[in-house]
A and B are shown apart, each in its own frame.
Chain A
Amino acid sequence: MKETAFITIDHKDVPLESEKNLLELIRKAGIELPTFCYHSELSIYGACRLCMVEVEGMGLVPACSTPPSPNMTIKTNTEEIRKMRKIIVELLLANHSQNCHTCQKSATCQLLALARRLGVTKIRFKNQSMNLPVDESSPSIARDPNKCVLCGDCVRICSEVQTIGAIDFAYRGAKTVVIPSFGKDLAKVECVDCGQCARVCPTGALMPKSEVDDVWREIHNPHKVVMAQIAPAVRIAIGELFGLEPGRITSGQIVAALRAIGFKRVFDTSFTADLTVIEEANEFIRRIQKNENLPQFTSCCPAWVKFAEQYYPELVPHISSCRSPQQMFGALAKDILSAQLNVKKEDIVVVSIMPCTAKKFEAKRPEFSHDGIKDVDFVLTTQELGRMIEEAGINFNELGPESFNLPFGFKTGAGVIFGNSGGVSEAVVRYLSEKLTGEKKENYEYRSLRGESGIREIKLSIGERDYSLAIVSGLGNARRIIERIKTGEGHYDFVEVMACPGGCIGGAGQPVYTHMMVRQKRTKGLYENDRMLELHKSQDNPYIQELYDTYLGEIGSPKAHELLHTHYRSRKRIADEDMYISYSDRAESLEINVCFGTSCFIKGSQKILRGILDYINANGLKNKINVSASFCFEACDRGPVIRVGEQVIEQCTIEKAKDAIKKEVEEYV
């Protein structure tokens, strides 16, 4: 047997195991070295300089980037080190917004915590923060560069884990900032709203965008019926905000808290998760039978859907057309509950409580609103609900559990495990294993589908066929799997993708955590919740059956399609705003877009634009038509391209354009 090597840390011998750097070893020894830029999930960055320790013979070294070697002697608390740490925190504070009292992060701000821990009682340096504009363009994330400590955690998680790179460093020296490319707003770049940047941000520089005030406003409005739906992953995490263990199931307390806040009805998104299972599994069966659009990708995660629309638009037909459980719920609530409760659709306010920031983006997708009424009106993250509970003065831990409202509050365990990576697949498999064999199964747990790894490939035999599944969490892993499929290395029938590592339980709307252990406990909590429930298979949910019988008709019926399915689009081009060339003052005008992308421009789109404008002027149509120059219809080989109303005209000539306009105007007016 090999002899264990030791390292002396502050006069204590610590066995050297598989630690890759001194920081891990020192933390193992129970010394909480301060850091900003170290995350075990990310590459070593070495920028915050807070983890400097003294190694005999080497002097001061950063613990994060120094590999341990046997017989090192380390000191972590010398006068020099303490002095340096204080100076570092003082320097950061001197370059930091001083609005701590109103900062929503103040309770979990690592900078504030460190200042307290290190005994920084005075900032000896002048405040030099630059007062930069705050970016609130994104529906999901608010970016305040004045609170940024430039640790680069957000930059690395976005590029290394999610392989997106929506934000990066720009400029030098004291002017260094983290910004989206070309200084654009976050809403106008490739950001998929997953919010992992906000999850790792040690300060309030990146935060889930709050909708708390909007929700309060609706609650206080007597004409509105405000109802909540709660996502699975919320129930095992919100307790952390009130000092409870991660993974502790608090569904009953959440229901009670929401009622106390003023919600009229409290439902469970797990109910529509059950519904998703039925629709998505049947969609899968149809695809298997026809052998088309395989593998089928899941569609529950809006960040993943946007990711696919941006980078792999060719995969759009492969994504399940099922709406996410959040949006299924919204559609049902507005449609069915408004009738049942005899309340106008516009007076029903659906508020989702989600572990997720991308759900805020999803709720605002144009596909999910009709006649100006959104299916889901507001999305609160777990963190935001926690703040509302605090604001309302509710003692969460003392609350007696209450039950969800029926019918949409009843769920099976299959709908609950949706919050874990692998949960959707397992729920679908629970359905398929009975549907495809026609047998009732005793067992409902498929442990082979569970696990912590970001890419899991599983082969399952159901009935007479073998099925190949891939379960992926983290968008970088999704990219890897897709590339494998494209090169022919990977063959799958069903691929589940969750944008956040670990699935929704690790979402960016969840309480801030720093230890990986928290994620494991939450996962365990959801599986436990499944076990506690009476039913475990979506097909056994009596209210789902009733919903089909009384309202939706058959699975995949037109009504089901209207309310439960959706469509996607290519976002390969990040749309730059159209340039309005000529507009009418009437609301209902014919829209004409002329492509001014490079290729169409070279092929003469400017001449066509001029021809169209001349035609409009000559025929007195100025008040009936809006003309804009647009950017790229993605048909560069068939340009110039214009769009007249809904009609896209390729290889357009002035004559073709005039004909189309004439026809449209006649129909229109």
Chain B
Amino acid sequence: MNWTLAGLKKIQSDFHAWQNSVKHRVMVCAGTGCLVNGSMKVYDAFVKTIKDAGINAVVELKKEEDGILISKSGCQGFCQKGTLVTILPENILYTKVKPDDVQDIVETTLLKGEILHRLLYIEPNMHKVCKGTDDIPFYQKQKRFVLKNCGLIDPEDIREYIAKDGYLAALKACIEMAPEDICRAITESGLRGRGGGGFPTGKKWDIARLEEDKKKYVICNGDEGDPGAFMDRSVMEANPHSVIEGMIIASRAIGADEGYVYVRAEYPLAVERIRKAIKDAYGLGLLGSRIFGSEHTFHLHIMEGAGAFVCGEETALIASIEGKRGMPSPKPPYPAQSGLWGKPTVINNVETLSTIPLIIREGAERFCEMGTETSPGTKIFAVTGHVLDTGLIEMPLGVTLREIIYGVAGGITGDDGKIMYDGFKAAQIGGPSGGCLTTEHLDLPIDFDSLKKVDAMVGSGGLVVMNKNTCMVSVARFFMQFTQSESCGKCVLCREGTKQMLGLLDDIIEGRATEETLELLEDLATAVQKGSLCGLGKTAPNPVLSTLKNFRDEYIDHVIHKYCPAGKCKALIKFTIDENLCKGCAQCVKKCPVGAITGEKKKTHRIDPKLCIRCGACMESCAFKAIKGERP
């Protein structure tokens, strides 16, 4: 025993005593999703209503006191249903809570102890009313390991993190374990980087550990940039101390005395919470010199990035911290050998780092129980697109796409947001760098290696699910547009290649393409994939290559038959007016920018296909759905 362990235990027991003294705890989600849905108004309403009801509204635990504790939590993951309010200890989850609902919640649940049914989540497939996370399939089927405490603790209160056994792993690493022991434990756990590459974390640490240099750095990569992915933001917002603890362990393992948390400036809440967490950790002596009375020193800074996608690439990130333009450099040398300011540097992603304390605390074996042999543990996916329930989903690796889509996310929806049976077409996994999975991959166990075999990647865990009305060429174009505007512009293949690929995709979508276009697109995509400087450039053509592979017919339809099977590419649609439906209201005549529509009033109109520029304005303007897009 040493004094710091006792110190942590004291904080723990004090916190539990305080918490037990309150009757109820109201957790109002203060993740970015709920914040923009107005959760702070809900929070304020709770404080006011409870006070007005003559009950002691406890907003911060200070000493043992009676009343109702109202806390802001980090992201609870079910963002689509925000504002989320959890009532403890009953574990009731109220969804879509508005300030007007607060009075009702206070009276019904907090005072009478009854459940307010109208705010509960109703599972739409079975119409089951769900009381709390234990009943909701979205939560029930997840394996919340890294996210376990997210949404359940107050991210701004370091004592609550400690109360949940926080910093015990850091203490163990600093006091009981030698650096090589830590590296070995991480290696044995088989943990692989959650940021995209899937490189074994233990191995990375070992390389840095063996570098003989007095100065080393640990960097947390919080420059999450994939469209739709927000797991790192959630962890930083909901459980910032887990990231810091992971960094302390990493610093101890490689012998670093300084570190940076690199967060994009577009994540102001994450920046704020990490900043507060660092300050609180310093306050308790968990950061700084002689942590836990050991010889280990670790200073931690926060660095705000300017929101460049490419700064998620580690060498570009390092350049950015050094004050240079965020552009990747060729590897070797690898950051573990020569990184920030030329010193050995370990860069890990947020999710990876917050997994570390769990492995150290619970042991590698426990971690390996989850996931597959080569990809142990869990992974957080940011599920979005045509599914019923979008949000963050943490599952053991090896899970199938079917399980995620149908088991957790509630199944495929149509364009109207309602369940679409047999509606699955594809899922883009791994963001703009990833690949497309199709129906034949629905039962493929998802892990780092299995995805590589089908030319996709886990990436950061973005998962965009698409229904049958999706045009895959347009999807490829969407991602290409993204990578093109986010290319740093350094290497020729990525900068010029993505621009030309985008141009070629435009040709296809707008009906100018020939067979040669397709051939050129494929050649170019292959060259960019093989020849680009950094990982982002190398993976930029993946959406094109994987849609070309899996949906080649769709490309052929666009190029040869000038037809978009999903009916999404306007330039490939022939617009006609159904004479049975047309009322001759002339709305479309007014909207047509080129005067292609003619007809007498109250009689069927017609579109001159030679003049029509296929903008689709007429179709949108028709109140009688008389205008149809057809295959030419």
Q: CA separation between A243 and B331, bound complex, in Å?
A: 40
Q: Which residue of A lies closest to B484 (CB)?
A: A173
Q: CA separation between A48 and B498, bound complex, in Å?
A: 15
Q: CA separation between A59 and B530, bound complex, in Å?
A: 9
Please indicate the chain A residues that have their CB under 8 angstroms from the CB of B532 in the complex.
49
Interface residue B203 (Cβ < 8 Å from any Cβ of A):
no
Interface residue B460 (Cβ < 8 Å from any Cβ of A):
no
A-contacting residues, B318-374, CB 8 Å: 325, 327, 329-332
Q: Are A174 and B332 interface neighbours, CB within 8 A?
A: no
A-contacting residues, B492-515, CB 8 Å: 492-493, 495-500, 503
Please indicate the chain A residues that have their CB under 8 angstroms from the CB of B487 in the complex.
172-174, 176
Q: Which residue of B lies closest to A175 (CB)?
A: B489
B-contacting residues, A71-125, CB 8 Å: 80, 83-84, 87-88, 91-92, 94-95, 124-125
Which bracket fits the contact residues of B?
20 to 34
Q: B539-578, CB under 8 A of A: which get 1 and which 0? A: 0000000000000000000000000000000000000000
Interface residue A150 (Cβ < 8 Å from any Cβ of B):
yes
Q: Are A60 and B531 interface neighbours, CB within 8 A?
A: yes
Q: Are B531 and A88 interface neighbours, CB within 8 A?
A: yes
Q: Are A128 and B500 interface neighbours, CB within 8 A?
A: yes
Q: Are A47 and B490 interface neighbours, CB within 8 A?
A: yes
Q: Are A176 and B489 interface neighbours, CB within 8 A?
A: yes
Q: Are B495 and A150 interface neighbours, CB within 8 A?
A: yes
Please indicate the chain A residues that have their CB under 8 angstroms from the CB of B524 in the complex.
87
Interface residue A651 (Cβ < 8 Å from any Cβ of B):
no
Q: CA separation between A67 and B333, bound complex, in Å?
A: 9
Smallest CB separation, B8 vs chain A (Å): 46
Q: CA separation between A91 and B497, bound complex, in Å?
A: 7
Q: Are B330 and A174 interface neighbours, CB within 8 A?
A: no
Please indicate the chain A residues that have their CB under 8 angstroms from the CB of B329 in the complex.
44, 46
Known: A44-B330, A94-B500. A88 touches B493 (CB 8 A): yes
Q: Are A65 and B489 interface neighbours, CB within 8 A?
A: no
- Which one, A48, A49, A173, contacts B485 given CB within 8 A? A173
- Which one, B308, B492, B500, B533, contacts A172 given CB within 8 A? B308
Interface residue A586 (Cβ < 8 Å from any Cβ of B):
no
Q: Are A173 and B503 interface neighbours, CB within 8 A?
A: no
Known: A65-B332, A84-B527. A173 touches B486 (CB 8 A): yes
Smallest CB separation, B223 vs chain A (Å): 14
Q: Are B492 and A48 interface neighbours, CB within 8 A?
A: yes
Please indicate the chain B residues that have their CB under 8 angstroms from the CB of A330 in the complex.
none
Q: Are A171 and B489 interface neighbours, CB within 8 A?
A: yes
Q: Are A169 and B332 interface neighbours, CB within 8 A?
A: no
Interface residue A225 (Cβ < 8 Å from any Cβ of B):
no
Q: CA separation between A149 and B496, bound complex, in Å?
A: 10
Q: Which residue of B lies closest to A159 (CB)?
A: B324
Smallest CB separation, B524 vs chain A (Å): 6
Q: Which residue of B lies closest to A87 (CB)?
A: B527
B-contacting residues, A415-431, CB 8 Å: none
Please indicate the chain A residues that have their CB under 8 angstroms from the CB of B485 in the complex.
172-174
Known: A87-B523, A92-B496. A62 touches B489 (CB 8 A): no
Interface residue B491 (Cβ < 8 Å from any Cβ of A):
yes
B-contacting residues, A169-204, CB 8 Å: 169, 171-176
Please indicate the chain B residues that have their CB under 8 angstroms from the CB of A452 in the complex.
none
Smallest CB separation, A651 vs chain B (Å): 38
Known: A84-B527, A169-B327, A172-B485. A128 touches B308 (CB 8 A): no
Tally of A-B residue pairs with Cβ under 8 A? 112
Q: Are A124 and B530 interface neighbours, CB within 8 A?
A: no
Q: Are B530 and A126 interface neighbours, CB within 8 A?
A: no
Interface residue A7 (Cβ < 8 Å from any Cβ of B):
no
Smallest CB separation, A53 vs chain B (Å): 11
Q: Are A49 and B496 interface neighbours, CB within 8 A?
A: no
Smallest CB separation, B503 vs chain A (Å): 6
Interface residue A305 (Cβ < 8 Å from any Cβ of B):
no
Interface residue A650 (Cβ < 8 Å from any Cβ of B):
no
Q: CA separation between A67 and B334, bound complex, in Å?
A: 12
Q: Are A84 and B533 interface neighbours, CB within 8 A?
A: no
Q: Are B530 and A80 interface neighbours, CB within 8 A?
A: yes
- Which one, A47, A59, A65, A169, contacts B492 given CB within 8 A? A47
Please indicate the chain A residues that have their CB under 8 angstroms from the CB of B493 in the complex.
49, 84, 87-88, 91
Interface residue A144 (Cβ < 8 Å from any Cβ of B):
no
Please indicate the chain A residues that have their CB under 8 angstroms from the CB of B500 in the complex.
91, 94, 125-126, 128
Please indicate the chain A residues that have their CB under 8 angstroms from the CB of B523 in the complex.
83, 87
Smallest CB separation, B393 vs chain A (Å): 31
Smallest CB separation, B160 vs chain A (Å): 41
Smallest CB separation, A562 vs chain B (Å): 48
Q: A122-162, CB under 8 A of B: which get 1 and which 0? A: 00111010000000000000000000011010000000000
Interface residue A64 (Cβ < 8 Å from any Cβ of B):
yes
Q: Are A174 and B489 interface neighbours, CB within 8 A?
A: yes
Smallest CB separation, B532 vs chain A (Å): 7
Interface residue A347 (Cβ < 8 Å from any Cβ of B):
no
Interface residue A10 (Cβ < 8 Å from any Cβ of B):
no
Q: CA separation between A125 and B484, bound complex, in Å?
A: 16
Q: CA separation between A396 and B330, bound complex, in Å?
A: 45
Q: CA separation between A168 and B490, bound complex, in Å?
A: 12
Q: Are B503 and A176 interface neighbours, CB within 8 A?
A: no
Q: CA separation between A252 and B138, bound complex, in Å?
A: 89
Please indicate the chain A residues that have their CB under 8 angstroms from the CB of B496 in the complex.
91-92, 94-95, 174
Q: Are A126 and B492 interface neighbours, CB within 8 A?
A: no
Interface residue B454 (Cβ < 8 Å from any Cβ of A):
no
Q: CA separation between A88 and B503, bound complex, in Å?
A: 16
Q: Are B489 and A169 interface neighbours, CB within 8 A?
A: yes
Please indicate the chain B residues that have their CB under 8 angstroms from the CB of A125 in the complex.
500, 503, 520
Interface residue B488 (Cβ < 8 Å from any Cβ of A):
yes
Known: A62-B330, A84-B527, A84-B530. A172 touches B486 (CB 8 A): yes
Q: CA separation between A80 and B527, bound complex, in Å?
A: 8
A-contacting residues, B12-28, CB 8 Å: none
Smallest CB separation, B513 vs chain A (Å): 12
Smallest CB separation, A92 vs chain B (Å): 6
Q: CA separation between A625 and B329, bound complex, in Å?
A: 57
Q: A444-458, CB under 8 A of B: which get 1 and which 0? A: 000000000000000
Q: Are A124 and B490 interface neighbours, CB within 8 A?
A: no
Q: CA separation between A664 and B61, bound complex, in Å?
A: 74
Interface residue A52 (Cβ < 8 Å from any Cβ of B):
yes
Q: CA separation between A150 and B332, bound complex, in Å?
A: 22
Please indicate the chain B residues that have their CB under 8 angstroms from the CB of A95 in the complex.
496, 499
Please indicate the chain B residues that have their CB under 8 angstroms from the CB of A59 in the complex.
530
Smallest CB separation, A40 vs chain B (Å): 16
Q: Which residue of B lies closest to A173 (CB)?
A: B487
Q: CA separation between A532 and B87, bound complex, in Å?
A: 98
Q: Are A172 and B489 interface neighbours, CB within 8 A?
A: yes
Please indicate the chain A residues that have their CB under 8 angstroms from the CB of B527 in the complex.
83-84, 87-88
Q: CA separation between A65 and B486, bound complex, in Å?
A: 24
Q: CA separation between A47 and B495, bound complex, in Å?
A: 10
Smallest CB separation, A36 vs chain B (Å): 8
Q: Which residue of A lies closest to B500 (CB)?
A: A125
Q: Are B489 and A46 interface neighbours, CB within 8 A?
A: no
Smallest CB separation, B614 vs chain A (Å): 21
Please indicate the chain A residues that have their CB under 8 angstroms from the CB of B503 in the complex.
125-126, 128
Please indicate the chain B residues that have their CB under 8 angstroms from the CB of A84 in the complex.
493, 527, 530-531
- Which one, A49, A50, A169, contacts B325 given CB within 8 A? A169
Smallest CB separation, B249 vs chain A (Å): 32
Please indicate the chain A residues that have their CB under 8 angstroms from the CB of B492 in the complex.
47-50, 88, 91-92, 149-150
Known: A49-B531, A88-B492. 11 other contacts (CB 8 A): A47-B492, A47-B533, A60-B531, A124-B516, A126-B500, A172-B308, A172-B487, A172-B489, A174-B498, A175-B489, A176-B495
* 11 A-B contact pairs sorted by A residue (CB < 8 Å): A46-B329, A47-B533, A49-B492, A50-B492, A60-B531, A87-B523, A88-B492, A169-B490, A174-B485, A176-B489, A176-B490
4 closest A-B pairs by beta carbon, nearest first, are A176-B489, A65-B330, A46-B330, A91-B496
Binding site for B on A (CB under 8 A): 44-50, 52, 59-60, 62, 64-67, 80, 83-84, 87-88, 91-92, 94-95, 124-126, 128, 149-150, 152, 168-169, 171-176
